[in-house]
Amino acid sequence: MQYEPKSPVSLSALETYFGDDYLHFSDVVNPPEKSDGEVGAIWKLLSLGQDSSVLELGCGYGRITNRLAEKGARVTGLDISPVLLRKAEADAAERNVDVEYVLGDIRSIPWQDRFDAAFLWYTTFGYFDEADNEKVLHEAACSLRKGGRLLIDQLNRFALLRDKWPTYEIVQCNDDLRIDTIEYDALTDRRNSERIVVRNGSVTRTRLSVRHYGFSEYVRMLRNAGFETVEAYGQEGREFTPFGPRLVVVACK
């Protein structure tokens, strides 16, 4: 039998997925105390200090980026969603921090040899096909100075393979609902989800597909992209275990 894999989502579909509905449920999914803890882990994993120059790829509404700026880093955020970037800029102004936000595609990063560190957090890597996913890593490497570090945080594929599929996730914000139906395709290592949002009396549907990689695949791709060392961690920098919830990869150029 010939297998026909599902295609990755388009850039326009990503813009729709990460739009106003995504923002509407954001504080329920990622409350402030959760973001505070993640920022501490990122700071340590990337060996950041005062005035470190940092690039967040897929920065969203700035929940991590602006907190890093509060800790003293010089931060730039790149994202495809105008809606999320406007929220990020408003939050930066409210916190009285200076962050450079740029609308753009992580497959085409407009800086070279500029940053001490870069990161893709909260499953921001894997949206595209194999070639474009690897292009993201090459672009990230080019944006870093020699000795720069790249951090990638993603769900742990081995843990996903243990679960029974499909799974369902429901988030409620006041009277509004967000319902995700999620399947994992073990033949392509893609996590495919359909999101239904019931909000203000209307229903919208969007889809997302994310490629999940094992550590050996990351080592190959990152070395091909120009990184010299690659390390594996578990959630927020703890020790990696095969059935832990997340795989965190740190590569040094």
CA distances from residue 87 to 26, 45, 66, 83 in whole angstroms, order as listed: 11, 26, 11, 7
Is the pTM of the predicted complex or chain greater than 0.85?
Answer: yes
Please give the pLDDT value at position 10. Answer: 85
Summarize the confidence of residues 206-229 as an average pLDDT: 97
pLDDT higher than 50, residue 116: yes
CA distance 140 to 253: 10
> Which residues, 6 or more positions from 73, have their beta carbon under 8 angstroms from its beta carbon?
43, 48, 50, 51, 52, 53, 54
Query: What distance lies between CA 202 and its chain's CA centroid?
Result: 28
Region 134-162: mean pLDDT is 97
Q: Given this model, what pLDDT does residue 7 score?
A: 52
Please give the distance of CA 77 from its chain centroid, rounded to a whole number.
Answer: 12
Query: How far apart, in whole angstroms, are the C-alpha atoms of residue 86 and residue 20?
Result: 11
Would you tell me the crossing angle of helices 130-143 and 215-224 to the nearest 10 degrees?
A: 60
Task: Choose the CATH number for 11-155+213-252 among 3.20.20.70, 3.40.50.150, 3.30.300.130, 3.30.70.1060.
Answer: 3.40.50.150
140-149 per-position pLDDT tens digit: 999 999 999 9
Residue 11 — very low, low, confident or very high, per pLDDT cuts 50/70/90?
confident
Give the residue from 130, 101, 127, 182 showing the smallest Cα distance to 11. 127
Q: What is the pLDDT of residue 233?
A: 98
Angle at 54 between CA 48 and CA 56, to 5 degrees: 120
pLDDT, tens only, 19-29:
999 999 999 99
Residue-wise pLDDT for 59-113, tens only, equals 999 999 999 999 999 999 999 999 999 999 999 999 999 999 999 999 999 999 9
Query: Is 50 exceeded by the pLDDT of residue 5?
Result: no
pLDDT recorded at residue 136: 98
| CATH 3.40.50.150 in the chain, residue ranges | 11-155+213-252
